[in-house]
Chains A and B, each alone.
Chain A
């Protein structure tokens, strides 16, 4: 099993605050993806990072893949209530995706 650990597990913040979610592993992945999941629905892809050190921006979200391709972070600037949800990282190796346990984010107005 290629374990991915996410932290924090829960995060409750006020609208306008910044936050960072971490995804760490002892395994090297050929790519890493971040998903967002809302209650009663399946996860939806936010971004894929492939190259070590890669940084991708999606509006207020910034994703980084570690140089060694073992870890990743998701930074949200000026969080909004619409960002509320479960954030999942997933590492890809050998035709399989391995998911972290998720970070449940609640952004209060």
Chain B
């Protein structure tokens, strides 16, 4: 089934550790996004990529980095995790264009202790 695959589904991580959240899409969409979802704050954009080889900062980029080596993969790295990064992380993709819908994965629930 076409869509977005995120891994892991959930993770408990000690503060200070490095962690990479994986995201793969098979729809050949050019744009990909990482959001975090916290209670009462909706979805906030961390980083995005309009096309392979390019990335940009969203609303809350600090403490996170991304890369887009090819069309399908868009990993999100926490270099040194902190408790405030405890959240549910969603990866999404879309075809470029203002009417194009976002297709989301099922999220990664990350707890930083």
Interface residues, chain A, CB within 8 Å of chain B? 1, 6, 9, 30-31, 33, 35, 40-45, 48, 50, 88, 90, 92, 95-102
Q: A92 near B98 (CB under 8 angstroms)?
A: yes
Q: Are A42 and B90 touching (Cβ within 8 A)?
A: yes
| Chain A residue at minimal CB-CB distance from B48 | A96
Whether B104 contacts A44 by the Cβ 8 Å rule is yes
Residues of A within 8 A of B101 (CB): 33, 45, 48
Cβ-defined contact, A45 with B102, below 8 A: yes
Residues of B within 8 A of A45 (CB): 101-102
- Please provide the chain B residues from 57 to 113 with a CB less than 8 Å away from any CB of chain A in the complex: 58-59, 90, 92, 96, 98-99, 101-102, 104-107
CA distance A63 to B44 in the complex (A): 23
Interface contact B42-A99, CB-CB below 8 Å: yes
**CB 8 Å contact bits of B18-45 with A (1 = contact, 0 = none):** 0000000000000101010000111111
Alpha-carbon separation in the docked complex, A80 to B87 (Å)? 30
28 contacting pairs across A/B (C-beta < 8 A): A1-B59, A9-B40, A30-B98, A31-B98, A31-B99, A35-B102, A40-B106, A41-B104, A42-B4, A42-B107, A43-B102, A43-B104, A44-B104, A45-B101, A45-B102, A48-B101, A50-B98, A88-B42, A88-B43, A95-B50, A95-B56, A95-B96, A97-B33, A98-B59, A99-B45, A100-B42, A101-B41, A102-B42
Q: Give bound CA distance, A35 to B90, whole Å.
A: 14
Partner of A97, one of B4, B40, B45, B96: B45
Chain B proximity of A87: nearest CB distance (Å)? 11
CA distance A99 to B36 in the complex (A): 11
Instruction: Give Cα A30 to B99, complex, Å.
Output: 9
Closest to B40 in A: A101
Q: Which residues of B contact A1 (CB under 8 A)?
A: 59
Chain B contacts for A6, CB-based, 8 A:
42
| 5 shortest interchain CB distances as A-B pairs | A42-B104, A45-B101, A101-B42, A99-B43, A31-B98
